[in-house]
Amino acid sequence: MGGGIAQVAAVAGFDVLLYDLSPEALERARGRMADFLARAVEKGRMTAAEREAALGRVAVTDRLTGLAACDLVIEAAPEDLELKRGLFRELDAICRPAAILATNTSSLSVSEIGALTGRPERLVGLHFFNPAPLMPLVEVIAGSQTAQATADAAFDLVVRLGKTPVRAKDTPGFIVNRVNRPFPGEALRIVGENVAGVAQVDRIMRLAAGFRMGPFELMDLVGLDVNFAVNQSVFRQFFEEPRFRPHPIQARMVQAGLLGQKTGQGFYRYEGGRIMGGPVGPSPESGPQVESRVWIDGDRWREAARTAGCRLAAEPAGADLVLVEAVLRPTTEAAAAFDRPERVVGSGALPGARLVTVAPGMRTAPEAWQEAFRFFRSLGLDVEVTHDGTGLVAERILCCVINEAAWALTEGVASREHIDTAMKLGTGYPLGPLEWADRIGVARVLGVLEALQRDLGEDRYRPAPLLRRLAAAGLSFGALMHG
Ligand SMILES: NC(=O)c1ccc[n+]([C@@H]2O[C@H](COP(=O)([O-])OP(=O)(O)OC[C@H]3O[C@@H](n4cnc5c(N)ncnc54)[C@H](O)[C@@H]3O)[C@@H](O)[C@H]2O)c1
């Protein structure tokens, strides 16, 4: 990370001194910078002269005292508090009193690191994302004693580096590593409860929710060990808050050495960096005409069904297939309200999604859910058939992410805009979680969380009070005046 940050600063026109204990690490960093910028020249992103000038602005040293003249020191040493303690104690003695000290820590407390120095008011967190030259986001973290002027100077510096800064309070995981926890965490629970399989969850999150990668593809890319370490750290720092509890599936895989792409196997098997036999894409062609008389609970699919030439029944009693929504309650529960529950099939789809999740209930006949599959295919939609479960897949994962964002907003970790920006730029979310909440509807998000809490009896689903207040007031996150 240190080499990447140094490159960003040099390209932005700053004189940079790169320090590492290991001369080999310095050499490697220089080589990587030279290669990266050579490719930038090839692609026409910078001129050869600009590359030479940027490289010329980077000097290296393996002596910490060399940093005495710096105005700002960004520490990116290994994530070990004892190691950082020694480093900051020395830096404090070496650097000018006016110099700002910054840490790139992803999981340690900025306030605690500040307290290791004699200048906690001039210590700030600058959390870059990997790889620093490509990732646009930097979280600027004010510790308990960080002066406003220090945080402001760090914020301005990030802008001068050509990056997008967001302000975050010093709380475990800051914004991104906290709000993103349910993305893999809830996916693991869905698989653990046998609601859906790994490839199904990934496909649903890509096609129904628009993510570039599903949670399991992402865990395999990042490394299961890395993801597990972040989960454990955030869980411990929140004093075992159930929302952050790691999942045993992940622990077992780490113990088995199935760490993802880097070991050739994680949730998927890899050969030459590619998933064997996948990932699974959209279904190829539209389905055949559905002959059954269909009764649809609610208006969602009626117009599309008429246009596609389906025969719609006026009453459930006269229908061969009864389609109910199965997000706020499982299909089996919804089906209990109908005579002949074997004809009842549940489904769920996010607003505007091109993939529908179909979930047979315990008494649904196979012909009924197969007909439901054909029905949605005849509307030109992709379909994934899962087991019955509250919230199904996409809404369950998204509503838990939204809930975490709402808790973070409630606790003043960051503003509404900065939470959404951080999630879009730091993890590539197609929409910010609070924007998602407004698209889905705050009342519905609240409904999904309450249903999960009721169905699974777990505290991790308790909704942030802010969601309840907004729903009661009929407001959206977009309407919040002081977000
Ligand atoms: N890798 C990421 O994805 C990522 C993302 C954001 C933040 N971070 C944070 O950045 C920091 C560094 O992470 P990394 O992945 O680059 O680690 P790394 O292990 O790849 O690099 C650390 C470097 O520090 C050097 N080093 C070790 N001990 C030292 C010491 N006492 N003094 C000076 N240098 C020393 C090592 O030689 C090595 O070059 C950590 O705090 C980490 O949490 C990492």
Distance 253 CA to ligand 1 centre (A): 25
**180 has catalytic annotation:** no
Residue 1 Cβ < 6 Å to ligand 1: yes
Split at pLDDT 50, 70, 90, the class of 419 is: very high
Give dist(CA 330, CA 307) in Å, integer. 28
Judged by DSSP in three states, 315 sits in: coil
Residues 274 and 221: their CA atoms lie apart, in Å, by: 11
106 is known as an active-site residue? yes
Q: In this structure, are residues 249 and 194 in contact, taking their beta carbons and an 8 Å threshold? A: no
Please give the distance, rounded to the nearest whole angstrom, from the Cα atom of residue 130 to the centre of ligand 1.
11
What are the two backbone dihedrals, phi and then psi, of residue 81, each rounded to the nearest 5 degrees? -60, -40
pLDDT of amino acid 205: 97
Tell me which of 7, 17, 19, 20 to substitute to probe ligand 1's pocket, judged by most ligand atoms within 8 Å of the beta carbon.
20
Mean pLDDT, all residues of the chain? 95
pLDDT per position as a tens digit, 392-416: 999 999 999 999 999 999 999 999 9
Distances (CA, A) of 155 to 88, 101, 126, 164, 191: 21, 13, 9, 9, 40
Written as one string, the DSSP assignment of 45-69 is SS-HHHHHHHHHTEEEES-GGGGGG
Return the pLDDT at 273: 81
Q: What is the DSSP string of 3-15?
A: HHHHHHHHHTT--
* pLDDT at residue 480, as a whole number: 83
Q: Which of 104, 127, 180, 404 is catalytic?
A: 127
CA–CA gap between residue 260 and residue 257 (Å, rounded)? 9
Residue linked to tokens 């840490």: 103
pLDDT digits (tens, 9 = 90+) for 65-98: 999 999 999 999 999 999 999 999 999 999 999 9
pLDDT of residue 274: 87
**Do 382 and 241 meet the contact criterion of CB atoms below 8 Å apart?**
no
378 vs 312: CA distance, rounded Å: 14
Mean pLDDT of 208-229: 96
Q: Could you tell me the pLDDT band of residue 283, with boundaries at 50, 70 and 90? A: low
**pLDDT at position 278, please?**
61
Kindly give the distance from the C-alpha atom of residue 113 to the centroid of ligand 1, in angstroms, as a whole number: 15
Cis peptide bond upstream of 341, omega within 30 = no
Residue 272's pLDDT is 85
d(CA 174, CA 230) in angstroms, rounded, equals: 12
How far is the C-alpha of 233 from the C-alpha of 239, rounded, in Å? 10
- Identify the band that residue 288 occupies on the pLDDT scale cut at 50, 70 and 90: low
By percentage, how much of the chain surpasses pLDDT 90?
Answer: 93
- Residue 291's pLDDT is 81
DSSP conformation letters of 361-380: -TT--HHHHHHHHHHHHHTT
- 149-183 in b/e form (b: 16+ CB < 10 A) is ebbebbbebbeebebbbbbbbbbbbbbbbbbbbbb
Q: What mean pLDDT do residues 23-46 have?
A: 97
Is 60 exceeded by the pLDDT of residue 349? yes
Q: Is the pTM of this model over 0.75?
A: yes
Alpha carbons within 13 angstroms on the beta-carbon side of residue 120 total 13
- Lowest mean per-residue pLDDT among 217-221, 234-238, 287-291, 330-334: 287-291
Distance CA 11, CA 18 (A): 14
Note the pLDDT of residue 483. Answer: 47
Contact 94, 63 (CB under 8 A): no
Q: Is 233 in the pocket of ligand 1 (CB under 6 A)?
A: no
Separation of alpha carbons 395 and 461, rounded Å: 13
CA distance 355 to 395: 12
Residue nearest to atom 16 of ligand 1 (CA): 1
Cα–Cα distance measured from residue 93 to residue 478, given in angstroms and rounded to the nearest whole number: 47
Pocket of ligand 1 contains residue 82 by CB under 6 Å: no
Instruction: Establish whether 139 is a catalytic residue.
Output: yes
Q: What is the mean pLDDT of residues 145-174?
A: 98
pLDDT at 280: 56
pLDDT of residue 279: 55
Distance CA 351, CA 320 (A): 27
> Region 170-187: what's the mean pLDDT?
98
Catalytic residue among 75, 139, 384, 435: 139
Residue nearest to atom 11 of ligand 1 (CA): 76
Give the H/E segment covering residue 94: helix 81-94
Check if 227 has its Cβ closer than 6 Å to any atom of ligand 1.
no
User: Is residue 347 among the annotated active site residues?
Assistant: no
